[in-house]
Amino acid sequence: MEQPGGSETRGLTGGEVLERTSTGRVNRVPFAVSRTIWQIVRANVLTLFNGIVAGSFLLLFLLDQWRDALFGLSAVGNSVIGIVQEYRAKRSLDQLAILHAAKTNVLRDGSKQKIPAECLVPDDLVVLSAGDQVTADLELTDGSYLEVDESFLTGESQPVEKGPGGQLLSGTLILGGSGLARVVKVGRDTFAYRLASEARRFSLVTSEIRKGLERVFTVVTWLLLPTALLLINAQVHHQGGWAETQETGQWTVATVAAVAGVLAMIPLGLLLLTSVAFAVGGLRLARRKVLVQELAAVEVLARVDVLCLDKTGTLSSGSIAFDALHDAGAEPAEGWKAALEWFGANAGSSSTAASIGAAFPVEDPLPEVSCIPFAAAQKWSSVTFGHLSGAAGTWILGAPNALLDGASHADGEAHRRAAALASTGLRTLVLAHAPGAPASTAPGEAKLPGQMKPALLLTFHEKLRKEAPDTVDYFRRQGVTVKIISGDDPRTVAVLAGKVRVGAGSAYDARDLPADPVLLEEAMQHHDVFGSVTPSQKQYMIQAMKRCGHTVAMIGDGVNDILALKEADLGIAMDSASPATKAVARLVLLDGRFDRLPAIVAEGRRAIGNVERVSMVFLSKTMYATLIALATAVMLLPFPFLPRQLSVIDGLTIGLPAFFLALQPSGRRYESGFLRRSLSFAVPSGLCVATSVVAVNVYAYSGGHNTAAVQTASSFTLSLLAAWILVTASRPLNVPKTAILAGMYGGLALLFTVSPATEFFRLSPPPPSLLAAAVLAAITGSLAIELVRYCQRGTGRPGR
């Protein structure tokens, strides 16, 4: 193994870093925050349906039927729009990710420096503390003990303890402890890179909408070939049979009709609009200083019905200020000030300890014999000084409920005073002293020393974010249940919760939470404010709410929130969060503004509400196109449309309007059952349209009308019915939607009246009797569609 350069205490020199960097041994890897340009192009171009469209386009072009190949332009337009929108979102997300990329503390030339993670080189000495994310493969040095989360690599959610010589793999998170570690492997040599874990930062979350659409696309794909064969057979039969069509060349007419029927079945723009909705949602959130680490998280935003908040750093500003020292009921042991100075000088990532350091500054704290770092599960840390130090013994700083058991008079009095202070809303800690040392300082084995007595009580104050009450009220009005889950004393949490009008003035003490999953679910349903919650309890509480059928979002900024953020349907990290906390979150509030949340939720609802709206239109089109194709094939009737006619009708009644509708505001909270709701409208509406169009065809051919007249009448009927489906799905109407619909009807009027359009699309005026039949069929079909929508409202489905 390569011998480390530098010193175990000074780190590498500048020359040693330069030598390693010049040879390319740096921690730089292809780290995909978003999809690459090639992945974006491939996702928008190289699809099965695009392949069918391209093949159909080429076939018609070779048959000199280029006028009926206009659908190719629509497909190209769809792909270009999708690529442009996703690329814009990619650029924005990548720039935000670079600005807020993880940084690492290292020792170089004897001083502590913060550098970008990609600048690490082999043998660097990395300074680790709770909240850090490991960005290279490391080896712990002597005297270092850490509690790490390796679930990104192993899938095991339980924290793992690491001692001197222990290996830390890139991608792991530091949950507790502190220490030094030497860089062993960087870049492409790391274990995480070999597992391709760098791709985890971007993925299209498996969402209900995408899964539902994939199921529809699978069914449509299986129907395409048999439908095409039936259509070809029907068209050939109408032209006089296979032999005659071969002799007369009329087989090209049959081919064109079959192509028209197959293409009409494909919901070509639906997947595009879903991708665009996600991409535009991510772009709009990025402009609001929100980093979306997974684009499809906007779907989860739309259907959140429970919002869990940590107290510190979320409802409060996150800055902890030392308030005062208080008598614990007995004379404190000598050396208490030196102990507080040591805790303040060794703050690590603890804002509470840092505030002690600001109140009790010291340049050279007493050297310790041993120390136990703070762990969220145990809620205390300790330091042991030698007998000649003037502060001999062990000093323990921690939560009152962790250090005071009330067994002795001193404990009971200190506990009573701590409770009184906590009830005023002040954060309260206990400084206790024991003459001896803990039995063990090893991770997981640390126990409180015997003969421990409370010495002092310390209080701290936090400032409530001024926007917190209004933001919490917004969620309450939106039907989202807000729950406050904090590790602080329940009395302190209850006071702050009361300021934002959550809970009934009291908080549930998490030490009394039942272990039984069913009882835990009941507790979560009946209480909204919880105190003294451990990190693992936060995780179990999120799981309980999810088992109850809730979609849960969790907002936090501390290391103790990591497990809960990972478990929640949507994890949101504040800007003040540790790198490890940000790494597991789906969204990061880069400016830490709590009042961004209503706009974030509104953006999610806009995106997904509109995806559901346009999906109803597209699936209706797929349904009526499939039914018309099958009905005419079975009845051996000519397919009633040319490809060019379907292309322009789809563009005017679905394609262009749906694109603009997908970007309109929408405030309705998304609920599960997307595919069921969409199909409950699309299937009967498609049936109404297909029945009306087929009825016009049966009437026309029974009356001896020619093919051109039938195609015009069918196109007129389909245009009015497809337009009415769009009107129905667009409700409730507003000014922008009305303008979009007016533009659609204006385009249809020009299509059927302006001579260049009528000539190109072969839409000659039909005889009055056939036109009257088309109008009657359109009116009847529109009334039937209205009845379908009315029934949906009556059963509580969308549109109510």
In a domain, 55, yes or no: no
Q: Is 149 a catalytic residue?
A: no
Q: At what angle do helices 268-287 and 71-99 cross, to 10 degrees?
A: 30
Q: Can you tell me the distance from the alpha carbon of 762 to that of 750, in angstroms, rounded to the nearest whole number? A: 14
pLDDT at 204: 41
- Spell out the alpha helix ranges (H) of 450-511: 468-477, 490-499
pLDDT at 65: 64
Instruction: Grade residue 34 by pLDDT with cuts at 50, 70 and 90.
Output: low
In a domain, 91, yes or no: no
Q: Can you tell me the distance from the alpha carbon of 267 to that of 260, in angstroms, rounded to the nearest whole number? A: 13
- 131 with 234, same domain: the answer is no
- 356 with 445, same domain: the answer is yes
Considering only 92-101, 354-363, 590-599, 648-657, which range has the smallest mean pLDDT? Answer: 92-101
Residue at a domain's end among 572, 592, 612:
592
- 779 with 660, same domain: the answer is yes
* SS3 at position 294: coil
- 450 with 502, same domain: the answer is no
β-pair partners for 372: 382
pLDDT at 318: 63
Check residues 133 and 399 and name the one with the higher pLDDT. 399
The secondary structure of 543-589, three-state, reads: HHHHHCCCCEEEEECCHHHHHHHHHCCEEEEECCCCHHHHHHCCEEE
- Its domain, for residue 176, covers 14-30+102-201
Q: Can you tell me the distance from the alpha carbon of 482 to that of 524, in angstroms, rounded to the nearest whole number? A: 11
Instruction: Grade residue 581 by pLDDT with cuts at 50, 70 and 90.
Output: confident
Q: What are 646-705's pLDDT values in tens digits?
A: 888 988 888 778 777 777 766 566 666 778 888 899 999 999 999 999 999 999 988 888
Q: Can you tell me the distance from the alpha carbon of 645 to that of 757, in angstroms, rounded to the nearest whole number? A: 10
Q: Which domain CATH number covers 715?
A: 1.20.1110.10
In a domain, 751, yes or no: yes
Reading the block at residue 331, the tokens are 């004379």
Q: What is the CB-side half-sphere exposure of residue 487 using CA atoms within 13 A?
A: 25
Count of beta carbons in the 10 Å neighbourhood of residue 215 = 11
Instruction: Grade residue 201 by pLDDT with cuts at 50, 70 and 90.
Output: very low
Q: Which domain CATH number covers 143?
A: 2.70.150.10
- 476 with 542, same domain: the answer is yes
Nearest to 310 by CA among 531, 473, 511, 507: 531
Nearest to 792 by CA among 690, 704, 673: 673
Specify the residue for token string 């890139």: 170
Say if residues 600 and 583 touch (Cβ distance below 8 Å): no
Considering only 78-82, 665-669, 739-743, which range has the smallest mean pLDDT? Answer: 665-669
- 451 with 477, same domain: the answer is no
Say if residues 602 and 667 touch (Cβ distance below 8 Å): yes
pLDDT at 42: 77
Nearest to 555 by CA among 755, 304, 367, 360: 304
In angstroms, how far is CA 98 from the centroid of its own chain?
19
Q: Can you tell me the distance from the alpha carbon of 138 to that of 128, in angstroms, rounded to the nearest whole number? A: 11
DSSP 8-state secondary structure symbol assigned to residue 90: H
- 580 with 666, same domain: the answer is no
- 686 with 756, same domain: the answer is yes
Specify the residue for token string 């503004």: 593
In a domain, 443, yes or no: yes
Share of the chain above pLDDT 70, in %: 80
Instruction: Grade residue 19 by pLDDT with cuts at 50, 70 and 90.
Output: confident
Reading the block at residue 553, the tokens are 């979002």
Instruction: Grade residue 548 by pLDDT with cuts at 50, 70 and 90.
Output: very high
- 435 with 472, same domain: the answer is no
The answer on pLDDT for 392 being more than 50 is yes
**Residue 267 CB-density burial (10 A; 0-12 exposed, 13-18 middle, 19+ buried):** buried
DSSP 8-state secondary structure symbol assigned to residue 454: E
- 247 with 388, same domain: the answer is no
Distances in whole angstroms, Cα of residue 335 to Cα of each of 364, 370, 404 = 15, 16, 21
Q: Which of 92-96, 258-262, 313-317 has the highest mean pLDDT?
A: 313-317
User: What is the pLDDT of the chain when averaged over all its residues?
Assistant: 80
Q: Which of 281-295, 300-314, 322-336, 363-377 has the highest mean pLDDT?
A: 322-336
- 121 with 235, same domain: the answer is no
Share of the chain above pLDDT 90, in %: 20
**Residue 329 CB-density burial (10 A; 0-12 exposed, 13-18 middle, 19+ buried):** middle
Strand order in the sheet with 290-292: 290-292, 587-589, 570-574, 552-556, 306-309, 481-485, 529-531, 508-509
Q: Can you tell me the distance from the alpha carbon of 404 to that of 413, in angstroms, rounded to the nearest whole number? A: 10
In a domain, 555, yes or no: yes
pLDDT at 670: 65
Q: Can you tell me the distance from the alpha carbon of 110 to that of 700, in angstroms, rounded to the nearest whole number? A: 92
In a domain, 435, yes or no: yes
pTM of the model: 0.66
Q: Can you tell me the distance from the alpha carbon of 556 to that of 562, in angstroms, rounded to the nearest whole number? A: 8
Residue at a domain's end among 151, 179, 201:
201
Nearest to 502 by CA among 305, 319, 315: 315
What's the domain count of the chain? Answer: 4
Reading the block at residue 708, the tokens are 């051109």
The one-letter amino acid code at 584 reads V
Count of beta carbons in the 10 Å neighbourhood of residue 754 = 11
Reading the block at residue 592, the tokens are 């830490």
Q: Which of 99-108, 397-406, 469-478, 646-655 has the highest mean pLDDT?
A: 469-478
Check residues 208 and 731 and name the one with the higher pLDDT. 731
Q: Which domain CATH number covers 571?
A: 3.40.50.1000
Q: What are 751-783's pLDDT values in tens digits?
A: 999 988 898 888 988 899 999 999 999 999 999
Say if residues 643 and 263 touch (Cβ distance below 8 Å): yes
In a domain, 457, yes or no: yes
Quick one: average pLDDT of 263-283? 73
* Total count of residues recorded for the chain: 800
Q: Which domain CATH number covers 362?
A: 3.40.1110.10
Q: Can you tell me the distance from the alpha carbon of 141 to that of 152, in angstroms, rounded to the nearest whole number? A: 23
Q: Can you tell me the distance from the alpha carbon of 413 to that of 408, in angstroms, rounded to the nearest whole number? A: 9
Q: Can you tell me the distance from the alpha carbon of 711 to that of 396, in angstroms, rounded to the nearest whole number? A: 87
* CB within 8 Å of 744: residues ≥ 6 apart: 652, 653, 656, 657, 723, 726
Sign of the C-alpha dihedral, residues 672, 675, 680, 682?
positive
Q: Can you tell me the distance from the alpha carbon of 497 to that of 489, in angstroms, rounded to the nearest whole number? A: 12
pLDDT at 485: 92
The CA R_g of the chain, rounded to the nearest whole Å, is: 34
* SS3 at position 276: helix
Residue at a domain's end among 201, 230, 249:
201
- 650 with 778, same domain: the answer is yes
pLDDT at 381: 86
Pairing mode, if any, of strands 370-375 and 380-385? antiparallel
Catalytic residue among 124, 310, 488, 650, which?
Answer: 310
pLDDT at 316: 78
In a domain, 155, yes or no: yes
Count of beta carbons in the 10 Å neighbourhood of residue 323 = 17
Report phi then psi at 269, rounded to 5. Answer: -90, -5
Distances in whole angstroms, Cα of residue 160 to Cα of each of 177, 367, 373 = 12, 29, 15
The answer on pLDDT for 214 being more than 60 is yes
DSSP 8-state secondary structure symbol assigned to residue 187: G
